[in-house]
Amino acid sequence: MASEVKEFLEAVQVVQTALFLGLALVVGLQWLKHRDQASAWAAATFGVLGAVAVAGRFLPEESTELVLARELLIAVLLLFPYLLYRFARVFRAAPRWIDVTAALLTAAVCTVIFFFDEVPGEGDPRPTSFLLYSLAILVQWAFLSALVSVWLWKAGSGRPTVIRRRMRTLSLGAASLFAAILISVAAGPSPEEPGGAEALSALVAFISGPLFLLGAAPPSIVLALWRRPEELALYEAEAALMAATSTDEVAQGLLPHVARTIGARGATLTAHNGTELAAYGDMSPAGDTASAPVLMELRSATLSVATDSFTPFFGREEVGLLTRLSSLTDVALRRAELADRERATAAELETANVSMREFVAIASHDLRTPVAAIKGYAELLTDGSDVANKEFAATIIRQADHLSRIVDDLLTVSRIDSGALEPQRAQLALREVVYEVVADLGVSDSTAVEGVDGLVVLADPDHLRRMLRNLLENAQNYGEPPVEIVACSSDGAVEIRVCDRGAGIAPDFESRLFERFARSSKAISRSKHGTGLGLSIVRGLARAGGGDAWYERRPEGACFGVRLPVSGGDRE
Amino acid sequence: MKVLVVVEDEEDMRRMIFALLTRDPRLVVTGHATTAAEAIEAAASLSPGLIVLDHFIEGPVTGLEAAPSLKQVAPAAKIILFSAHDLSSEARRSPDIDAYLQKDQPQKLLPLAQSLLGLGPIAA
């Protein structure tokens, strides 16, 4: 049984030595990579542990000629708790008396060992002086280990998972190593055959190895497992950034998650011109654990994260996660900027449209009123008996009518452009409206109407009359009789075609038919009364009412169509 | 004789309307107003057969807004909304407006008034 325990202990010590050596190498590489104070003290601390573990394996236990070597080994081992204390001191301040006490205690125990002629081996009796010395070692180790354990354990509260677990596993490692020493000292001199206490001490000491490794230099797979709660926060942050449509939303989606990921007290997003875009939490220095903020330069802003002294060492990998967010934040900020500009442009456009609508309302009154007065008084002049004056008055009325039509056309086009049209749609019997317009224009004799019976359209009555009037006037002015108005149902709408038998539209002018102020040379020569807005108005009114207008090439003449929605009352 | 009231705040327009309507000797314009309040008072006291009502008149109340009150004090009066603005939709929606005519068609004012008052054209 005792030999089995001995073999087990031997195996444990071999593995432990490998662990401590591996830990020393890993932490040493960390220091070579980062070259900061915390890494330096960590490298020293675990380097000492690794060196002692390896040296202890090769130092013969029974040799009396290597007393100095064993004493040196003990002295170096006794440096471990002090170095661990100095490592913890990088992260927080301590009262001066603790610094002095730690240094003096360590100096004392490291020095006194050399005054012993020999170090009692396993099974050797322990003289009183050595027992007192052992007590001093216990006090030194307990004092420093307890201090570090409590500091690291308490400091882990409220931190992201990775940082918290690293700090607390280090804390547990220090505590377990002290516990191993305590068990060993309490058990007394080692018997020739190893017993339960020695096994327990070895096991507890062994546990410290993986705990130190997980705390000081956890492998990536462990980090990934520990990081899972914060990974969810990162995914949420990425989703929030993808959905953000304003700088505010970007900041709100980014800052809380950044703070949560690395346990920051606060974070700010500042544009490169110095404007603070958003702030979260508290950016003020945090007492005795103050540390410079972590800065991350984005393309259009700077992310500043208020951390404390623990974060650069324990949260190093978590800070690296922020780069994952930074490129996404750049894209989100750019998109938000574009969205902000789009909103500003839309607001400007709306303001311009409102101004245009106000102008149309004012111009409508201010232009039409004088025209009305001109026509009205001219109308009164026609009552006179003088023939010449009557002719002059008739001319005034004719020209005033022309002016009135131009004003009407311009105001209608302005309304179409500014979206101020507001069609008042109603169910209209197409037959009535068509015959009314034909009669108004006095073109009944030269116009054939077909297919309008029983058709009902959903349209603004004034707009429909205007469209029909414009098309009929065009047909009369630029085409040849007879003019045909043909209506039919088609795919849930009503199509009205106004066709003449004239020369039609020149092919090179077809594409410009519905443009503003577009008039073919033939139209200009035949009629001096057009503004070139008629067809543009027809299409604008048709589209505002949910329909459309178009031109159809025919073998003979020109044919214009208007499509209007129906209300459900089709041909009987 | 049909009594008419003209509600129009522009002097030139008011004279034009007066001259256009009185071409028919059967019509007499006995009252005119420049504000809604004056129009209501005139309508109440004169009980006109026809009111020619502009929309943008002096004061805070527009012609369309005054129409219900005018009908209340003169229920028998026909109201023509005679405006430079395109108010055809609003006029259609208002039960108190009997007809709408845009000001750039003044030649239609007399025939419209005669029609609403049940009068035929003047004999030549």
Q: Which of B104, B105, B109, B110 to mutate to test binding with chain A, by most A CBs within 10 Å of its CB? A: B104
Of all residues in chain A, the percent with pLDDT exceeding 70 is 91
* Cβ pair B20, B106 in contact under 8 A: yes
Is the pLDDT at B48 greater than 70? The verdict is yes
A368:B105 CB<8 A: no
B23:A397 CB<8 A: no
Q: Give the distance, in angstroms, between the CA of residue B104 and the centroid of all CA atoms in the same chain.
A: 15
Is the pLDDT at A97 greater than 90? The verdict is yes
By the CB < 8 Å criterion, does B19 face chain A?
yes
Q: Give whole-number Cα distances, B36 to B2, B40, B82, in Å.
A: 22, 6, 15
- For residue B20, the chain A residue with the least C-alpha distance is A380
Write the CB contacts of A1 (distance below 8 Å, at least 6 apart in sequence): none
Other CB atoms within a 10 A radius of the CB of residue A261 amount to 25
For A68-99, give the secondary structure using H, E and C: HHHHHHHHHHHHHHHHHHHHHHCCCCCCHHHH
Is the pLDDT at A556 greater than 80? The verdict is yes
In chain A, residues with a C-beta closer than 8 Å to the C-beta of B18 are none
- Nearest neighbour of A376 by CB, restricted to B16, B86, B89: B16
Stretch A516-533: mean pLDDT = 65
By the CB < 8 Å criterion, does A384 face chain B?
no
- Give long-range contacts, CB 8 A cutoff, 24+ apart: A311-314: A311/A163, A311/A262, A311/A263, A311/A264, A312/A36, A312/A38, A313/A36, A313/A38, A313/A39, A313/A42, A313/A90, A313/A91, A314/A159, A314/A162, A314/A163, A314/A166, A314/A167
- Nearest neighbour of A371 by CB, restricted to B85, B88, B104: B104
Strands (E), A372-425: none
Is the pLDDT at A465 greater than 50? The verdict is yes
B16:A460 CB<8 A: no
Write the CB contacts of A362 (distance below 8 Å, at least 6 apart in sequence): none
For A288-332, give the secondary structure using H, E and C: HHECCCEEEECCCEEEEEECECCHHHHCHHHHHHHHHHHHHHHHH
Question: How far does the CA of residue B48 sit from the closest CA of chain A (Å)?
Answer: 23
Is the pLDDT at A493 greater than 90? The verdict is yes
Other CB atoms within a 10 A radius of the CB of residue A238 amount to 18
Q: Which ipTM was obtained for this model?
A: 0.85
Q: How far is it, in rounded angstroms, from Cα B112 to Cα B89?
A: 18
By the CB < 8 Å criterion, does B24 face chain A?
no
Q: How far is it, in rounded angstroms, from Cα A306 to Cα A253?
A: 17
pLDDT band for A568, please (50, 70, 90 cuts): very low
**Contacts A–B by Cβ distance under 8 A:** 64
Is the pLDDT at A144 greater than 50? The verdict is yes
Question: What is the pLDDT at residue B99?
Answer: 96
Q: Which residue has the higher pLDDT, B31 or A316?
A: B31
Is the pLDDT at A572 greater than 50? The verdict is no
* The dihedral formed by the CA atoms of A326, A328, A333 and A335, expressed in degrees to the nearest 10: 160
Question: What is the pLDDT at residue A569?
Answer: 40
Q: How far is it, in rounded angstroms, from Cα A520 to Cα A130?
A: 119
Question: What is the pLDDT at residue A184?
Answer: 79
Question: How far does the CA of residue B85 sit from the closest CA of chain A (Å)?
Answer: 5
Q: Which of A366, A367, A377, A398 to mutate to test binding with chain B, by most B CBs within 10 Å of its CB? A: A377
Is the pLDDT at A47 greater than 90? The verdict is yes
Question: What is the pLDDT at residue A570?
Answer: 42
* Cβ pair B4, B30 in contact under 8 A: yes
Helix (H, G, I), strand (E, B) or coil at B53: strand
Tell which phi-psi region holds residue A492, choosing left (phi > 0), alpha (psi between -120 and 50) or beta. left
In chain A, residues with a C-beta closer than 8 Å to the C-beta of B17 are 376
Stretch A196-210: mean pLDDT = 83
DSSP B107: G
In chain A, residues with a C-beta closer than 8 Å to the C-beta of B23 are 380, 383
Question: How far does the CA of residue A250 sit from the closest CA of chain B (Å)?
Answer: 47
Q: Which helix H or strand E contains A233, and what residues bound it?
A: helix A228-243
A365:B107 CB<8 A: no
Question: How far does the CA of residue B109 sit from the closest CA of chain A (Å)?
Answer: 10
pLDDT digits (tens, 9 = 90+) for A349-360: 888 877 777 777
Mean pLDDT of all residues belonging to chain B? 92
Q: How far is it, in rounded angstroms, from Cα A331 to Cα A243?
A: 11
- Look up tokens 């609003």; give the residue: B90
B103:A460 CB<8 A: no
Question: How far does the CA of residue B36 sit from the closest CA of chain A (Å)?
Answer: 19
A372:B10 CB<8 A: no
B106:A372 CB<8 A: yes
- Angle of helix A196-216 relative to helix A37-58, nearest 10 degrees, comes to 150
A372:B88 CB<8 A: no
Other CB atoms within a 10 A radius of the CB of residue A437 amount to 22
Stretch A421-437: mean pLDDT = 92
By the CB < 8 Å criterion, does B112 face chain A?
no
* Cβ pair A390, A510 in contact under 8 A: no
B104:A380 CB<8 A: no
Q: Which of A150-154, A201-205, A287-291, A411-415 has the lowest mean pLDDT?
A: A287-291
pLDDT digits (tens, 9 = 90+) for A205-254: 888 889 999 998 888 899 889 888 888 878 888 888 888 888 888 888 88
pLDDT band for B17, please (50, 70, 90 cuts): very high
Q: Give the distance, in angstroms, between the CA of residue A441 and the centroid of all CA atoms in the same chain.
A: 62
Q: Which of A133-147, A551-565, B66-80, B100-114 has the lowest mean pLDDT?
A: A133-147
- Give long-range contacts, CB 8 A cutoff, 24+ apart: A64-72: A64/A118, A67/A117, A67/A118, A67/A119, A68/A114, A70/A119, A71/A113, A71/A114, A71/A116, A71/A119
- Look up tokens 């017993």; give the residue: A195
Question: What is the pLDDT at residue A121?
Answer: 65
Encoding tokens for residue A318?
Answer: 């978590």
Q: Name the most confidently modeled range: A300-309, A320-329, A495-504.
A: A495-504
Q: Which residue has the higher pLDDT, A70 or A378?
A: A378
pLDDT digits (tens, 9 = 90+) for A385-413: 788 888 888 889 888 888 888 888 888 88
Q: How far is it, in rounded angstroms, from Cα A472 to Cα A483?
A: 8
B103:A368 CB<8 A: yes
Question: How far does the CA of residue A347 sit from the closest CA of chain B (Å)?
Answer: 28
By the CB < 8 Å criterion, does A373 face chain B?
yes
Question: What is the pLDDT at residue A528?
Answer: 52
Q: Which residue has the higher pLDDT, B1 or A341?
A: A341
Question: How far does the CA of residue A560 sit from the closest CA of chain B (Å)?
Answer: 27
Mean pLDDT of all residues belonging to chain A? 85
